[in-house]
Structure 1
Amino acid sequence: MELLYKVLFFVSGFIIFWAMIGYPISLKMIGKKYKDRRLKKDYSHQPTVTIMVVAHNEEKVILEKLNNIVSLNYPQEKIEFLIASDNSTDKTNEIVKSFINDHRDLKIRLYEVKARKGKTNAQNEAHKTVTTDYLIMTDANSIMSKDSVIELMAAFTSDDIAYVSGKLSIINQQSSDTSKAEASYWDSDLASRETEGRIQTITAGNGALYAIRTADYYDFDPIQCHDSAMPPLYALQGKRAIANHDAVAYEKAGENIEDEFGRKVRMNRIILKHILPDIRILNLFKYKWFSYFYFGHRTCRYLLWIAHLLVFITNLLLIPESPLYTLVFVFQVLFYLIALLVLFSKTNNKYLNLVYYYCVTILAQWCGVFNILTGKAKPFWEKAESTR
């Protein structure tokens, strides 16, 4: 049993280390090797485009979103706008219809989903009405930069590029410790995505802003989300999903931990499947860097919930074996005590809050797993009000 404890301890410890430290460092080193590889752009590439906004009870932000998308820099004759309302019961549909009536010179449509089944289902249904060459997805509470459409289309420079993700820029970083922590996470993650896309392909996208060829659209199960499902799908098809961070969407992060925790629990509604969504990912010889990227950026992160539990339990059982195990166990206890301290004291210390935010993220993974195992995971949710 002692050997089993040691194997579980070191494997779990490696997963935690590689997900949070080892992989980001290795990616920086790999990126330096490919420093001459740059994102190619062709600004003459301006095909027909539909901007799809999925909304459920977004009366607080939908008018601002509509004004935002119709003022984007792109040839008017080549752009259409599609609002997919996921069974909205507030004034969202009324506002959209009024806006359409006031802008009859623009190609704006409202698609009303009759039964609420979540964002992915609304995208699946509304997509079937799209006739343009390309499809851009964006959230109702995200504000797109003026040239975001031009930038997204310019990145489709070869037939193997199937997906282009924009950059999510958090505009309320200084509003709270929670939004600061989320912004810090995004800054790190965006750097990784830029390198992954430059070398081969990113492992996950960003729901705030991304583009695909309409012909490449795939009807996913509504429990899934495009952010985590689309890039791996295309990678396994031998295509590329890349990031163009000159296409920017501005959005608020959750300003209180309750909103952010709820968002992370919902993000983890299919975490078990995403650990290894397809066995082919392990084929390093065929998928090359994508296999490496997915293991470090996704698989290890999606295993943090169980890795932390196993490393804690096995560490406790191994304490009699060596003072080193005692030292590591004390470190773990102090780490979790710091999170509890922040929870009850509401300290403003940046580093202590990062520890707390990390622990909340791990707890959210556990809640996601619990919801999956108990059949409570669902494809839709109530939005975080502090992000509106």
Structure 2
Amino acid sequence: MSIEMPVVSALLVLFSVGGFALLHAFLIYPLTLFSIKKVTSGTQCTPTTDLPSVGLVIAAYNEEDIISQKIENSLKLEYPADQLNIIVFSDASNDATDEIVRSYEDQNVTLERIEGRVGKTECQNRVAELIDEEILVFSDANSMYESDAVTELIRSFTPRVGCVVGELRYRDGSNVEGESVYWQYESWIKRMESGVNSLITGNGSIYAVRAESYYPQPADAISDFTEPLSILRNGETVKYAPTAVAWEDTEANVQDELSRRIRIITRSWNSIVRYSDLLNPFLHPGIAYQLWSHKILRWLSPVFLVIIAVSNIALVALTDSILYTILLIGQAAFYSLAIAGYLSEKDYLKHRTITHVPFYFLQANYAMLYGLVNFLQGSNIVVWDTSDRE
């Protein structure tokens, strides 16, 4: 008895801490933002009505299957043609991407070929040095913009705003359903963050930066994460423009989505260490709360899941509490749904949203654990490979 009680107390602490951290990251934090947004009514700055010059910077590596469609989409943007400069950078593509882009030179489309396969972030740094436009809009080759997307980004700039992030939506019928559901949830959180304080991250598919606010990023950084952080560190804010819409398909399959997420998490951990000052609640209370809640705890969620499961099993074995048994049954049910979701991906069972979402959640957590291990082992991922666009 004297030995069991301290063990049970320690297990209860582990279970409670893990459970609270997980709940905070995915539920308490967004609800806190929602509550703050409801009770505050700060003065809103008037959005700009000017139409500054814009450089639309499109990232491409071996995008022969999609780059023509992206350029055609960009040429149809409802923005004054004499104020819009379209630049496609090719990170040492070895397919027909460069030739396709050059075929649009007479339509105000510029190719910047960068040798050496240096990665997206370094390519952005080099292109930003070459162009003179007042606003830089960064996009991926597979991101198709609504015709007013750039205009809506520009409208959200105010004197204190250094970066504006648009909204990425996934088309109906996309292959990885869990990613689409997750992104709707993330978009809701971004609306809350922007309304309460500031976004803490961008979106590589659609975000805009004042040229004078742009900070060159290390080549191994994930630029749509670290660029907003650099802007925040300088005292400016980052805002969300949900009416500036870009459309994409999800990855072709869950394996491609897993690889993409591992790359993102690995680079994010390697990037956040350069901004440890923003994690200090005494220096930046609002930003620190957002980073810890939305990013750090979220990335650590697989660790918390393991802690919760192991401590719950031990508590059931060492105590006769019905509560711990019910909680363990709930976890078992959730993991069973995830297994069913995996089997549906393998076409062994019929596809159901109720099973695919738990499967996607666990797959995302596996990717976060993999990315954390990569970071702890000192590895990083600088370049990207183009997914199958068919």
**Residue of 211, 215, 231 corresponding to 2:212:** 215
Show CA shifts across 1:1-55 (max 9, x none): 6244333322111111111222222222222123676674222x11111110110
Counterpart amino acid of residue 128 in structure 1: E
Counterpart amino acid of residue 96 in structure 1: V
**Residue of 354, 360, 367 corresponding to 1:357:** 360
The alignment status of 1:122 with 2:120, answered yes or no, reads: no
The alignment status of 1:329 with 2:328, answered yes or no, reads: yes
Give, in whole Å, the separation in 2 of the partners of 1:341 and 1:231. Answer: 39
TM-score between both structures, scaled by the size of structure 1: 0.90
Cα RMSD of the aligned pairs, angstroms, is 2.2
Give, in whole Å, the separation in 1 of the partners of 2:272 and 2:141. Answer: 29
Counterpart in 2 of 1:229?
A: 226
Show CA shifts across 1:194-247 (max 9, x none): 121122201211111110011222222222212221222222222101111111
**Residue of 311, 315, 318 corresponding to 2:315:** 318
The alignment status of 1:73 with 2:78, answered yes or no, reads: yes
The alignment status of 1:5 with 2:11, answered yes or no, reads: yes
**Secondary structure, aligned partner of 1:289:** helix
Counterpart in 2 of 1:152?
A: 153
For structure 2, which runs of at least 5 residues remain unmatched after alignment? 1-5
For structure 1, which runs of at least 5 residues remain unmatched after alignment? none
**Secondary structure, aligned partner of 1:270:** helix
Give, in whole Å, the separation in 1 of the partners of 2:379 and 2:387. Answer: 19
The alignment status of 1:348 with 2:351, answered yes or no, reads: yes
Give, in whole Å, the separation in 2 of the partners of 1:368 and 1:282. Answer: 20
TM-score between both structures, scaled by the size of structure 2: 0.90
Please tell me whether the aligned partners of residues 13 and 311 of structure 1 are also in contact (alpha carbons under 8 angstroms).
Answer: yes
Please tell me whether the aligned partners of residues 120 and 220 of structure 1 are also in contact (alpha carbons under 8 angstroms).
Answer: yes
**Secondary structure, aligned partner of 1:153:** helix
Alignment of structure 1 residues 152-231 onto 2, 5 Å: 152-158=153-159, 160-171=160-171, 173-176=172-175, 178=176, 180-231=177-228
Counterpart in 1 of 2:62?
A: 57
Show CA shifts across 1:286-319 (max 9, x none): 5343232222211221111211122222223333
Give, in whole Å, the separation in 2 of the partners of 1:40 and 1:248. Answer: 21
Give, in whole Å, the separation in 2 of the partners of 1:193 and 1:264. Answer: 19
Deviates further, 64-73 or 285-294:
285-294
Show CA shifts across 1:149-185 (max 9, x none): 2211121121x211000111211x3344x2x322211
In 2 relative to 1, CA 229–222 (structure 1 residues): closer, same or farther, beyond 3 Å? same
In 2 relative to 1, CA 40–174 (structure 1 residues): closer, same or farther, beyond 3 Å? farther
Give, in whole Å, the separation in 2 of the partners of 1:170 and 1:121. Answer: 27
Please report how far the alpha carbon of residue 348 of structure 1 lies from its aligned counterpart in structure 2 after TM superposition.
Answer: 2.3
Please tell me whether the aligned partners of residues 269 and 372 of structure 2 are also in contact (alpha carbons under 8 angstroms).
Answer: yes
Deviates further, 301-310 or 219-228:
219-228
Deviates further, 354-363 or 143-152:
143-152
Give, in whole Å, the separation in 2 of the partners of 1:275 and 1:115. Answer: 26
Give, in whole Å, the separation in 2 of the partners of 1:326 and 1:280. Answer: 42
Counterpart in 1 of 2:3?
A: none
In 2 relative to 1, CA 64–170 (structure 1 residues): closer, same or farther, beyond 3 Å? same
Counterpart in 1 of 2:110?
A: 109
Give, in whole Å, the separation in 2 of the partners of 1:20 and 1:241. Answer: 22
Give, in whole Å, the separation in 1 of the partners of 2:213 and 2:325. Answer: 54
Deviates further, 135-144 or 224-233:
224-233
Deviates further, 322-331 or 129-138:
322-331
